[in-house]
Amino acid sequence: MRKKISISNLLLFTEAWSLLAVARLVLIFIPFRKITPVLGKNITTQLPLPSIKSTQPLQQNIRTAISRASRWSPWRTACFEQALAAKIMLKNRKTVSIVYFGVHKKREKANAILAHAWLESGGITVTGGKSSYRFSVIAVFKS
């Protein structure tokens, strides 16, 4: 038996699915330097996020919507697409978030480097958090 989904969660899912498509197209056709203003200000160290009010249910709902929309998307929805879509969703709600970019060198292959992007907001890892601990942070964007 399927669990009923609320209208608000359905709207979040639809927004996430649409923004994942937009994020994919942006990453295909627009150079990174043109995308960075959407990501926020490039910072050198992690600053504590200001907590004006507890918005953690918002972050959890967006995390769930992005995760579900990723599973139902026929296009690639890797870490960068998810982080960009979540960033836009949180920015539209005037919620502070931080996007991290990291790299990890594979031990098996001499020249293999993996890249990863993840987003945190309100003390919650919204996207890409499962393996983020393995990556060395090379860039951080806050808005």
Contact assessment for residue 23 and residue 85, using Cβ atoms and an 8 Å cutoff: yes
Name the phi and psi angles at 89, rounded to 5.
Answer: -60, -45
The average confidence (pLDDT) of the chain is 90
DSSP-assigned letter for residue 132 = G
Is the model's pTM score more than 0.85? yes
What are the residue ranges spanned by the domains of the chain? Answer: 7-142
Lowest mean pLDDT among 6-20, 50-64, 89-103, 127-141: 50-64
Give the pLDDT mean for 84-105.
96
pLDDT of residue 48: 54
Alpha-helix residue ranges (DSSP H) falling in 30-123 = 32-39, 56-71, 79-92
Residue 2 has pLDDT above 80, yes or no: no
Q: Band of the pLDDT at 52, cuts 50, 70, 90?
A: very low
